[in-house]
């Protein structure tokens, strides 16, 4: 397609449609109260625009739906497994491919194999389930993002990078034998969906290999990361996204993949590794929890659709549209006076709730207050990434998170430009009366991943 046009269009037409969940304000008030002011408890048909996650919410293509009929449902050695294995090997270069039902299963298997007491995993940032799996296996998880990752107002091209000097210092302090692996999360979901540069990946890979520590990529959003490298890193603008992605994988020794993101499927994942001994042990854990190693807890049709999605996601018309739609939402919010993490990420725009709702202290969860306000105002569902998700304790011993964000994650190929325009209009309206929004009080929570189960209520004025 000629690249001289200014308007980037959705590179698809729509064949099947699904109605949105229209509701009235009094109903939303009731629904939110019944949900304990936790939007994870809201029935999806009471949600108008669902920005809770980009995970497993993609629209599959007609070809992917056709793949479902092609799936081979044999228990062992299914043809669909070999299709997936070939695709993953070609893309990543890793020798062994183990399908799993989703990303956290790959995490659990890998952590069970390599982690244990006294070990520390280092990362640019562990996603919350990754951290939980490292800790559940008895090890510690330490994040080493670059300093600018936490300066939310400052745009930077590669705020997902790892602090390479801090990494080397930490490896020496801990001793390399106590660091079973280094994880590079691409893009960095916990800190704004920001990409990692090839330069940083190369540098981290050199450090890792110098100390003989395997480098594992959390590749959930590898294609978005690759396209941001193409757009932002000198020397990559003419290289196809597929080649850039291959180069990214070439610096690692394996990857964990949640296929629910950049493999454009509703369920699935894989673990791909080079080390034969790790794979032998991973297979044992896989059989215990997921199933036989050629299906890993998935149907043959899922494997087939995943292989197809890994191909489609690297089409450049798709990637240009994908990044533009996120940027478009970011532009709209900025214009409406809503502070966002700059620049917008690959899969989501993150609103800086601490700055937007300055009158609400972290102990009263400004992010969650905004999440609730979005639902009450227009049935928009988002997710808090702040002290509800990452803070500890409550009342007297409350320890806030490093940030108070609200993530608006865009499902892939699902919403159109007018949906985004609507969301921007809602934000502009909320911005006018934001000083009236009240904080939230935590009533009930569990010690790990508490945002999934917490119950809250609005503070009394
Ligand atoms: N790694 C990253 C970077 C993720 O964002 C996620 C999931 C996982 C691993 C785990 O994968 O869900 O397939 O088990 N992120 C979702 C989200 C849940 O909303 O950001 P999973």
Determine, yes or no, domain membership for 3: no
Q: What is the pLDDT of residue 4?
A: 82
Candidate list 94, 127, 318, 356, residue with the active-site label: 127
Last residue of a domain, one of 285, 312, 339: 312
Last residue of a domain, one of 255, 288, 312: 312
Cβ 129 under 6 angstroms from ligand 1: yes
Told to judge if 82 belongs to the known catalytic residues of this protein, a careful annotator would answer no
In DSSP terms, which residues pair with 255 in a beta bridge?
Answer: 217, 272
Told to judge if 451 belongs to the known catalytic residues of this protein, a careful annotator would answer yes
Q: What's the farthest any 2 CA atoms get from each other in the chain?
A: 62
Determine, yes or no, domain membership for 115: yes
CATH code of the domain in which 417 resides: 3.90.1150.10
Candidate list 46, 230, 347, 451, residue with the active-site label: 451
Last residue of a domain, one of 287, 312, 337: 312
Q: What is the pLDDT of residue 395?
A: 67
Q: What is the pLDDT of residue 405?
A: 96
Q: Please give the number of the atom of ligand 1 that sits closest to the Cα of 130.
A: 9
Global pTM? 0.96
- Same domain membership, residue 308 and residue 331: no
Report how far ligand 1's centroid is from the alpha carbon of 4 (Å): 36
**What domain range is 166 assigned to?**
62-312
- Same domain membership, residue 176 and residue 110: yes
Told to judge if 34 belongs to the known catalytic residues of this protein, a careful annotator would answer no
Q: What is the pLDDT of residue 397?
A: 80
Contact between 127 and 108 under an 8 Å Cβ cutoff? The reply is: no
- Same domain membership, residue 286 and residue 366: no
Contact between 279 and 113 under an 8 Å Cβ cutoff? The reply is: no
- pLDDT by 10-residue block (mean), the chain, 461 residues: 83 95 97 97 97 97 96 97 98 98 98 97 96 96 96 96 98 98 96 96 98 98 98 98 98 98 98 98 96 96 98 97 97 97 96 97 96 98 94 80 95 97 98 96 84 91 72
Cβ 258 under 6 angstroms from ligand 1: yes
Cβ 197 under 6 angstroms from ligand 1: no
22: CB partners within 8 A, 6+ apart: 48, 379
Q: What is the pLDDT of residue 1?
A: 63
- Same domain membership, residue 369 and residue 245: no
Cβ 346 under 6 angstroms from ligand 1: no
Pocket test of ligand 1: the residue of 50, 56, 103, 371 to mutate, having most ligand atoms within 8 Å of its CB, is 103
Cβ 260 under 6 angstroms from ligand 1: yes
């Amino acid at each position: 397609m000629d690249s001289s046009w200014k308007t980037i269009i959705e590179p698809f037409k729509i064949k099947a449609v699904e109605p949105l969940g229209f509701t009235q304000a009094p109903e939303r008030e009731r629904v939110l109260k019944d949900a304990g002011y936790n939007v994870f408890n809201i029935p999806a048909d009471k949600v108008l625009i669902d920005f809770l996650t980009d995970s497993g919410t993609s629209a599959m293509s007609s070809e992917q739906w056709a793949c479902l009929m092609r799936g081979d449902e044999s228990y062992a050695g299914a043809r669909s497994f070999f299709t997936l294995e070939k695709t993953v090997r070609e893309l990543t270069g890793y020798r062994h491919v183990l399908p799993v039902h989703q990303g956290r299963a790959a995490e659990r298997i890998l952590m069970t194999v390599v982690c244990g007491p006294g070990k520390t995993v280092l990362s640019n940032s562990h996603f919350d389930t990754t951290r939980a799996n490292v800790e559940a296996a008895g090890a510690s998880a330490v994040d080493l993002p670059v300093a600018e990752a936490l300066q939310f107002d400052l745009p930077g091209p590669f705020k997902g990078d790892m602090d390479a000097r801090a990494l080397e210092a930490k490896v020496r302090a801990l001793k390399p034998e106590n660091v079973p692996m280094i994880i590079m999360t691409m893009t960095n979901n916990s800190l704004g969906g920001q990409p990692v540069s090839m330069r940083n990946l190369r540098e981290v890979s050199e450090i890792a290999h110098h100390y003989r520590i395997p480098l594992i990529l959390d590749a959930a959003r590898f294609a978005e990361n690759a396209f941001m490298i193409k757009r932002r890193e000198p020397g990559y603008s003419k290289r196809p996204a597929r080649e850039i992605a291959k180069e990214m994988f070439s610096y690692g020794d394996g990857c964990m993949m949640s296929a629910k993101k950049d493999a454009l499927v509703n369920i699935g994942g894989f673990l791909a590794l080079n080390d034969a001994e790790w794979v032998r042990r991973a297979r044992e854990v896989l059989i215990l929890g997921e199933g036989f190693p050629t299906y890993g807890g998935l149907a043959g049709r899922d494997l087939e659709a995943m292989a197809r999605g890994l191909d489609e996601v690297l089409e450049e018309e798709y990637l240009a549209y994908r990044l533009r739609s996120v940027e478009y939402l970011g532009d709209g919010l900025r214009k409406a006076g809503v502070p966002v993490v700059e620049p917008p990420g690959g899969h989501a725009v993150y609103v800086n709730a601490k700055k937007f709702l300055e009158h609400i202290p972290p102990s009263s969860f400004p992010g969650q207050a905004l999440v609730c306000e979005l639902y009450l105002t227009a049935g928009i569902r988002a997710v808090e990434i702040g002290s509800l998700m990452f803070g500890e304790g409550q009342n007297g011993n409350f320890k806030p998170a490093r940030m108070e964000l609200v993530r608006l994650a865009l499902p892939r190929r699902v919403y159109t430009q007018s949906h985004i325009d609507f969301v921007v209009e809602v934000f502009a309206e909320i911005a006018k009366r934001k000083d009236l929004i009240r904080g939230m009080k935590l009533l009930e929570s569990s010690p790990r991943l508490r945002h999934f189960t917490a119950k809250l209520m609005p503070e009394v004025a």
